[in-house]
Structure 1
Amino acid sequence: MIVELPDTTTSQVSKTLVKIREEGGVVALGRVLTLVIATAPGSEEEAIEAANDASREHPMRVIVVSSDPEEAPDLDARLDAEIRVGGDAGASEVIVLRAHGDAARDEESLVMGLLLPDAPVVTWWPGASPDVPGQSPLGRIAHRRITDASTKPDPQHALHACATSYTPGDADFAWTRLTLWRAQLAAVLDQPPYAPITAVKVTGAIDSPSTTLLAAWLHLQLDAPTTYELTPVEEGSHGIHGVELQRDGGTVELVRDIPGVATLNQPGQPTHHVALPRRNLRDCLADELRRLDPDELYGEVITSGLALLGDAEAEGVHA
């Protein structure tokens, strides 16, 4: 069910929610968190679809704040709202707020009256995000703040901006997309022989901040000389292409040569094919919502790991 509320207020939206619950039996009990999605006009549906899918694992209230920062500042203040429940909202209830004029200037006030009481708040910017998410109006009220460097015009620059603006509780999908790669590499290193890694090489597309972040994680964890190569998109597929771990006894190679499937080569062992699909928005969002405390490992990698990788680059280790 979708209820349209043109030219309304947050108070009227809240009252309508109560009315819908009383008349239709839709309840807020069991909602474990409030997800606030800050997006540009026209980009709401993809984010809502991902949130609806993720809500089946994490029942929640979804508040979508849609505004255009480049909109003429002299427009009359106006708030158009939409409430989705039932089959149109998965296991959540979705409130879409389309703000214009002065109504779009105070995002915090727009959502404060709609947050679930005593429930954690997660803010997600699927596209453009503030320079310092932790100090933004929607970031200050959140326990977790999620960005996506890969959606920016310059993903590599956006990743380093995440490092300089990092506040405990921040997260980026560039890190979330590494979960399967990190698990597979950790499994390889848990097998004999247990010889130390002497060199690491990571390759990927230039529009893949995950490639740089994977190199930073490996450099931080293995303390081995690390190189990473970023290739133009037209020369290969998007995302991470492969990882080489060099030992005295030979090189371990994990290469994603076809979409969704990687080839694992280890000295003295047969070639294995490993499922390594690129994670979609739903998977990344559901993964990040599994923890509502700061991701300390991400914080260490995005700050210290990237900095160490920068030192390696200055020493000529970067390829």
Structure 2
Amino acid sequence: MIVDLPNTTTSNVSKRIQSLRAQGGVIALGRVLTLVVITKSGLEEEAIEAANEASREHPCRIIVLAAGSPEEPTRLDAQIRVGGDAGASEVIVLRGFGELAEESESLVAALLLPDAPIVAWWPNGAPENASETSIGRIAHRRITDSANEIDPQRALENIRDTYRAGDTDFAWTRLTNWRIKLAAVLDQAGSSPVTAVAVEGASDSPSTILLGAWLRQALEVPVTIVPGPVGTGIRGVQLTLTSGEIRLLRPGLSVAELTQPGQPAQRISLPRRSLRDCLAEELRRLDPDEVFGDTVRSLATSKMHQVSLHEQGILDLEAFGVPA
């Protein structure tokens, strides 16, 4: 069921939700959190679809702030989606125009679930400082996606410079399966120490940079980033041990090949993660991701706030004949 409320107020939206519940009990109870999605009008449907799918695992109230044009007369259009149009949740889409086009806590305050955690998600157009935005200040977790930004590397640098406990980024969430596989491989390697690491991935991929930083911090060895074609994500990791080399290579989108000294090559499932998978994982935890915090802050090796990652030797493009 979809109910449109043009030129309305959040108070009227709240009353209509209560009315729908009284009429048919169509609104799911037992919701565990409020997910606030901050985006622009016309870009919201992909995020709503992912949130609906994730809500089947984490029942929640989804509030979408889909900013309209600030040049139009000030008004608020709303839409309530329940039942089959809202997964295991209820979806409230707020389209603000004019003075209401700006992200604001006042737009969502009357619609937040009482005594429930708040998760803020910017699927695109991440703010300069998520924790200092109107919504970010009231959220327990703040999710961005640096890979969706115009300059992904600059977006990652910005997260490094403004990081606060509770921040996370889908560039990190997409690494979960890689980190699990690599941790298992290293565990099987036993006492043979790792002496060097090479990570091959797209030069525009913040996930590539974060994986290299995580491995460098965890293993305390030099890590080299081998840049691949733009838009391809992570392609592979090579671990140099005193006993030989371990390679985990994913040439396609879902299957990787693992080669280890003295063992036959293995084909293992390592699919690229969907938006739904990433969101569902982040909604499983409401405490700060300390490993992400340590990893993203480790990118800063200078007291200067605007140090390029190229200058840190993490993404050494010039070493591979590619101009920085």
Normalised-by-shorter TM-score class = over 0.9
**Given the superposition, is the C-alpha separation of residues 314 and 295 from structure 1 closer, same or farther in structure 2, using an over 3 Å criterion?**
closer
**Given the superposition, is the C-alpha separation of residues 194 and 305 from structure 1 closer, same or farther in structure 2, using an over 3 Å criterion?**
farther
Q: Which residue of 2 aligns with 1:296?
A: 290
Q: Which residue of 1 aligns with 2:76?
A: 79
Q: Which residue of 1 aligns with 2:111?
A: 114
Q: Which residue of 2 aligns with 1:249?
A: 243
Are 1:274 and 2:268 an aligned pair? Answer: yes
How far, CA to CA, are the matches of 1:43 and 1:37 in structure 2?
11
Q: Which letter maps to 1:272?
A: Q
Q: Which letter maps to 2:95?
A: R
Q: Which letter maps to 1:221?
A: A
Q: Which residue of 1 aligns with 2:66?
A: 66
The sequence identity of aligned pairs, in percent, is: 57
**Any residues of structure 2 matched to 1:95-114 within 5 Å, and which?**
95-105=92-102, 107-114=104-111
How far, CA to CA, are the matches of 1:97 and 1:157 in structure 2?
30
| C-alpha deviation, 1:207, in angstroms | 2.4
Instruction: Show structure 1 runs of 5+ residues with no match.
Output: none
User: Is this contact kept in 1: 2:35–2:60, CA < 8 A?
Assistant: yes
How far, CA to CA, are the matches of 1:6 and 1:115 in structure 2?
20
User: Is this contact kept in 2: 1:41–1:67, CA < 8 A?
Assistant: yes
User: Is this contact kept in 2: 1:159–1:209, CA < 8 A?
Assistant: yes
User: Is this contact kept in 1: 2:126–2:146, CA < 8 A?
Assistant: no
Instruction: Show structure 2 runs of 5+ residues with no match.
Output: 303-308, 320-324
User: What is the aligned counterpart of 2:142 among 140, 145, 168?
Assistant: 145
1:72-116 residue CA offsets vs partner (Å, 9 max, x unmatched) = 44x321000000000000000000000000122352100011000
| C-alpha deviation, 1:317, in angstroms | 10
Question: TM-score if structure 2 supplies the norm length?
Answer: 0.92
How far, CA to CA, are the matches of 2:145 and 2:226 in structure 1?
21
Q: Which residue of 1 aligns with 2:172?
A: 175
- Counterpart of 1:113 in 2: which secondary structure? helix
RMSD over aligned Cα, in angstroms? 1.9
- Counterpart of 2:105 in 1: which secondary structure? helix
Q: Which letter maps to 2:60?
A: M
How far, CA to CA, are the matches of 2:105 and 2:118 in structure 1?
12
| C-alpha deviation, 1:156, in angstroms | 1.4
How many residue pairs were aligned?
Answer: 313
User: Is this contact kept in 1: 2:36–2:120, CA < 8 A?
Assistant: yes
User: What is the aligned counterpart of 2:210 among 208, 213, 220?
Assistant: 213
Question: TM-score if structure 1 supplies the norm length?
Answer: 0.94
Are 1:197 and 2:194 an aligned pair? Answer: yes
Q: Which residue of 2 aligns with 1:185?
A: 182
How far, CA to CA, are the matches of 1:315 and 1:254 in structure 2?
20
How far, CA to CA, are the matches of 1:123 and 1:49 in structure 2?
16
User: Is this contact kept in 1: 2:104–2:134, CA < 8 A?
Assistant: yes
**Given the superposition, is the C-alpha separation of residues 153 and 97 from structure 1 closer, same or farther in structure 2, using an over 3 Å criterion?**
same
User: Is this contact kept in 1: 2:4–2:79, CA < 8 A?
Assistant: yes
**Given the superposition, is the C-alpha separation of residues 212 and 12 from structure 1 closer, same or farther in structure 2, using an over 3 Å criterion?**
same
User: Is this contact kept in 2: 1:260–1:275, CA < 8 A?
Assistant: yes
Q: Which letter maps to 2:206?
A: P
